């Protein structure tokens, strides 16, 4: 699958930069192209200057709202971010069309941090604009949720997250949710943590995007997971994760290779990688709440068999009994076995609903509507129409 990636705001731009780096890795290691274009959009010149892989020309690093912000950002006011994105949408659309491999694009992926100003405000606006012009192509969002300390100390982070998520959900075909807090390392520096989080957020997409683009017969799976499988899986709230199991380098004699204990160990290795992928989903959720799921097994061809595929599929079915499950194999990894999992069409995402409920409390508190606050706390009435839309 080939994506055209657009990063909005500081967070979105850095993750888009990571996708550009992923494409470079695919090109060098596998001779594949998985990103047809990578763009960063921002109201802050400094943030655009901090990127390393996205092309540095003005058509790939796009400054918007120059007249309004003078290149200094929108100060976490996502309504202003939405306004400048709407005003400069034509500039962005023209730049995207200049991508050399734009016609090869299977889907668009727009990325932003939910709590910021530029990205949070711009992502639903640009999603809507692209959807109107390229209605035949799927349009996905990847939205990064704030850190726990931001949620506790910044009321604006909660408000921005709720308005961004509500607005994006109404226009995007699917939204990948990434919880920053899942990947944080307490003793690492801020720069190290952010770089690590961005890399971990993007890593599960590598094999998933490469699998359907393979050209060499020996690397094409017996059941290929291609763009069609991914498109049919992605609907609404979505999470992604991957798990890895190392393959021992011990060479067994022929007699031991055929032993039943080795076969059982191989199958269990696949289940363990699946459990790790579920444990490291981009947002903590209950798999039982998903209506669609996809898995991809990546390993050396000699380490995969039908029993392993069956065990992974059966294991996932037990965890997500109501989901339509698609899956396949990709004989590419060396020395390890990796399972990538997508759970989509999630109908009960507690963290998102919490943002909505807390934002309603903030809105009613600002209006002095104590009775409405009490109703919401008792769970009698939660009217999401009161949450403003950025569209």
- Residue 383: pLDDT above 60? no
pLDDT band of 336, cuts 50, 70, 90? confident
CB-count exposure of residue 318 (10 Å: 0-12, 13-18, 19+): exposed
In the predicted model, is pLDDT for residue 188 greater than 80?
A: no
In this predicted model, what pLDDT tens digit does every residue of 322-334 receive, in sequence order? 999 999 999 987 8
Residue 381: pLDDT band by 50, 70, 90 thresholds? very low
Please write the tens of the pLDDT for every residue from 290-300: 999 999 999 99
Q: How many H helices and E strands in the chain?
A: 16, 10
pLDDT single digits (tens) 64-90: 988 888 888 888 899 999 999 999 999
pLDDT at 262: 54
For 124-182, the DSSP string reads HHHHHHHHHH-TTS-EEEEEEEPPHHHHHH-HHHHHHHHHHHHHHHTT-SEEEEEEGGG
- Contact of 120 with 159, CB cutoff 8 Å: no
Of 291, 281, 327, 323, which is closest to residue 308 (Cα–Cα)? 327
Place of tokens 């996905």: 140
CATH fold, domain 3-202, is: Rossmann fold (3.40.50)
What is residue 194's predicted lDDT score, i.e. its pLDDT? Answer: 81
Are 359 and 316 in contact by the 8 Å Cβ rule? The answer is: no
Where does the pLDDT of residue 183 fall: very low under 50, low under 70, confident under 90, or very high at 90 and above?
confident
CATH class assigned to 217-344: alpha beta
- Give domain limits for the chain: 3-202, 217-344
Rounded Cα distance, 101 and 33, in Å: 10
């Amino acid at each position: 699958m080939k994506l055209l990636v657009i990063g909005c705001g500081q967070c979105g731009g850095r993750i888009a930069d990571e996708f550009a780096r992923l494409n470079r890795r695919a090109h060098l290691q596998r001779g594949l192209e998985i990103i047809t274009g990578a763009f960063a959009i921002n109201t802050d010149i400094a943030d655009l200057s901090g990127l390393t892989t996205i092309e540095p020309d003005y058509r790939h690093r796009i400054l918007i709202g120059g007249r309004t912000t003078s290149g200094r950002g929108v100060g976490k006011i996502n309504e202003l971010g939405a306004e400048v994105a709407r005003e400069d949408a034509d500039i962005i659309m023209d730049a995207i069309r200049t991508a050399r491999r734009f016609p090869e694009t299977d889907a668009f992926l727009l990325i932003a941090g939910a709590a910021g100003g530029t990205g949070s405000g711009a992502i639903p606006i640009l999603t809507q604009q692209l959807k109107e012009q390229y209605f035949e192509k799927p349009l996905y969002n990847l939205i990064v949720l704030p850190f726990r300390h931001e949620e506790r100390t910044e009321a604006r982070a909660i408000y921005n997250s709720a308005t961004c998520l509500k607005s994006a959900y109404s226009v995007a075909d699917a939204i990948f949710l990434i919880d920053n807090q899942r990947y944080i390392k307490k003793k690492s520096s801020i720069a190290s943590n952010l770089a690590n989080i961005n890399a971990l957020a993007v890593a599960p997409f590598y094999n998933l995007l490469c699998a359907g683009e393979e050209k060499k017969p020996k690397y094409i799976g017996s059941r290929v997971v291609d763009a069609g499988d991914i498109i049919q899986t992605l609907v609404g709230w979505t999470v992604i994760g991957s798990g890895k199991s190392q393959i021992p380098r011990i060479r067994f004699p022929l007699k031991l290779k055929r032993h039943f204990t080795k076969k059982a160990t191989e199958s269990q290795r696949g289940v363990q990688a699946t459990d790790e992928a579920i444990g490291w989903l981009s947002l903590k959720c209950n798999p039982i709440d998903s209506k669609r799921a996809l898995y991809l097994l990546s390993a050396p061809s000699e380490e995969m068999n039908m029993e392993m595929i069956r065990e992974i599929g059966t294991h996932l079915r037990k965890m997500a009994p109501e989901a339509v499950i698609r899956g396949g194999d990709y004989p590419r990894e060396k020395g390890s076995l990796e399972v990538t999992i997508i759970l989509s069409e999630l109908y009960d995402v507690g963290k998102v609903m919490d943002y909505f409920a807390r934002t309603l409390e903030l809105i009613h508190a600002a209006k002095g509507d104590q009775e409405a606050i009490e109703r919401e706390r008792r769970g009698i009435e939660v009217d999401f129409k009161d949450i403003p839309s950025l569209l």
